[in-house]
Amino acid sequence: MNKKLFFILIIITLIAELVIAYVLIGKIDDVEQDSVKINECVKSVEDNFGDESRYSDALSYCVLDNDGALLYENSGDVSLSVNQAIKNNDTILELQLGDSRIGTIIFKNTANESINKYKSRLVTAIIVITLLQLILVVTYYIYLRKTIIKPFEKMNSFATRVAQGNLDTPLELDRGHIFGSFTEAFDLMRSELRKSRAAEKKANDDKKEMVAKLSHDIKTPVASIKSTSELGYELAESEKIKEKFNQINIKSDQVTALVGNLFNSSINDITEIEVKPLAQPSTLVKDLIKNADYQNKASDFQMPECRVYIDRLRLLQAFDNIFMNSYKYGGTDIDVDAAIENDSLVITISDHGPGVSDEELPLLKEKYKRGNNTEGKDGAGLGLFLTNYYIENMNGRLELFNLDPGFGVKIYLRMTD
């Protein structure tokens, strides 16, 4: 069901509802006693007064004498007295024989029955049309959910996975909804990002390989220089010349050490840093926070007493990275809070700076990722990456969030007995 058809059907049901209501309400307003039949009955009673077999049965009525006594009735539900007839809003007429009043005739008022009948029909019609409208609305909602809401939820989930770096899972294509072509373009973007990420990784690997090769190649001539200088040192007779050769040896060793560091950094991944967590009291965590806040911008806070599973050095480095980022990009006072949630000690650290965009937030824990607010400020994009690495290797968890204004982190540290 498309939108145009849905609105046409809704308008048709509304028009039908209004027409039925107008017709039935008009009939209710027109309900009244049949004056022609009433006159026929009165005439038949007056002409045949006393001969009940010849009275008309066109309507329900009864006949009373001048004293109010019942002379005749043709229906068991008609009023039998003037007072009762007045109460029931029945029609009351006098019977005349010539110039003399011979009695009273009371006709049952059927208008209320007719009105109630039309009211019942009106209510039934409204209920039926309302149910039909409800069916149309539910059907249209199912249509919208199938063609818009569910595809949008899939794309939202897909976008989250892409933002988290999962570029391997393709988006299920379905051209049967309005997002069909957009879905295809979205998945094409994922594919291109995956290719770009692979190309970036290959470029980085190639750089590392080139640095490793150059480092290895440099070692050979340096080793030759060192060997030659050592030989010259042994053969030299002058102390002054020996001192020169000794300087060459010292510098050769320095070059060798630097090249070795360069070589190791090119072949080792940064996540090979060792993390050794142990059970420690929570008071140590508070000391580490105070140690990391060397500018004294953090608010005072209470630390719940418990024992947590941490590596003292790596947790200090994590706090150092967090406070350094706040000093650099926030530049405001810092709020610190500590609380116990389930089986974790949760440390919340937040500032009142500009924060980052919602699109950048999931990427900040990745290596070399920095926000747009870092322009002109030094940094390599490794602080939160390393912090996340340290916390995860302590069986904890790092969460990043935006405030209005501000930026915050939550560190979940696993508690121990």
For 287, half-sphere exposure in the C-beta direction (CA atoms, 13 angstrom radius) is: 7
Provide, rounded to the nearest whole percent, the portion of the chain with pLDDT above 90. Answer: 21
Residue 49 has pLDDT above 80, yes or no: yes
Helix then strand then coil, in percent of the chain rounded to 5, is 55, 15, 30
Global pTM reads 0.40
Which residues face 345 on adjacent strands?
A: 340, 413
Place 29 in a pLDDT band, splitting at 50, 70 and 90.
Answer: low
pLDDT by residue (tens digit) across 185-225? Answer: 767 777 787 788 778 877 776 676 666 556 645 765 676 68
| pLDDT tens, residue by residue, 125-142 | 888 888 888 888 888 888
Q: Please check whether residue 348 is in contact with residue 322, taking contact to mean a CB–CB distance below 8 angstroms.
A: no
Name the residue among 61, 70, 53 with its Cα closest to residue 37.
Answer: 61
Average pLDDT, the chain: 80
Is 77:110 a contact under the CB 8 Å cutoff?
A: no
* Whether residue 378 has pLDDT greater than 60: no
- Span 77-97, mean pLDDT? 88
- Whether cis (ω within 30° of 0) applies to the bond prior to 405 is yes
Task: Please report which confidence band the pLDDT of residue 260 belongs to, taking 50, 70 and 90 as the band edges.
Answer: low
Greatest mean pLDDT range, 31-45, 350-364, 375-389:
350-364
Are 382 and 270 spatial neighbours (Cβ–Cβ below 8 Å)? yes
Question: Distance between CA 295 and CA 293 in Å, rounded?
Answer: 5
From 98-102, 249-253, 349-353, 368-372, the region with the lowest mean pLDDT: 368-372
Phi, psi dihedrals of residue 279, rounded to the nearest 5°: -75, 125
Count helices and strands (H / E) in the chain: 10, 10
pLDDT surpasses 60 at 269: no
Sign, CA torsion 284/312/380/192: negative
Report yes or no: 370 and 308 within 8 Å, Cβ to Cβ: no
Question: Residue 151, preceding bond cis, omega within 30 degrees?
Answer: no
Helix boundaries (H) for 76-179: 82-87, 111-144, 150-163
- CA atoms of 61 and 76, how far apart (whole Å): 9
What CATH code would you report for 278-416? 3.30.565.10
> Which band of pLDDT confidence, cut at 50, 70 and 90, is reported for residue 12?
confident
The predicted model gives 71-78 an average pLDDT of 85
Over residues 350-355, the mean pLDDT reads 89
Mean pLDDT (whole number) for 295-301: 88
Confidence (pLDDT) at 413: 95
Average pLDDT, stretch 363-370? Answer: 78
C-alpha neighbours within 13 Å on the C-beta side of residue 253? 6
In degrees and rounded to multiples of 5, residue 74 shows phi and psi of -115, 10
| Helix H or strand E encompassing 237 | none
What is the dihedral sign for C-alpha 224, 226, 228, 230? Answer: negative
Question: CA–CA separation, 15 vs 27, rounded Å?
Answer: 18
Mean pLDDT of 379-390: 78
Q: At 392, phi and psi to the nearest 5?
A: -65, -35
Q: Taken in order 339, 341, 345, 351, is the CA torsion positive or negative? A: negative
Backbone angles phi, psi at 393, to 5 degrees: -80, 0
CA distance 162 to 169: 9
Residues in contact with 17: Cβ distance below 8 Å, sequence separation at least 6, in sequence order: 125, 126, 129
Core vs surface per residue 337-352: b (16+ CB within 10 A) or e: ebeeeeebbbbbbbbb
Find how far residue 416's CA is from the centre of its chain.
35
pLDDT of residue 87: 87
Give the lowest-confidence range in 106-115, 172-181, 368-377.
Answer: 172-181
Please state at what angle helix 312-325 crosses helix 282-292, rounded to 10 degrees.
40
**Within 10 Å of residue 78's Cβ, how many Cβ atoms?**
19
Q: What percent of the chain is modeled with pLDDT above 70?
A: 80
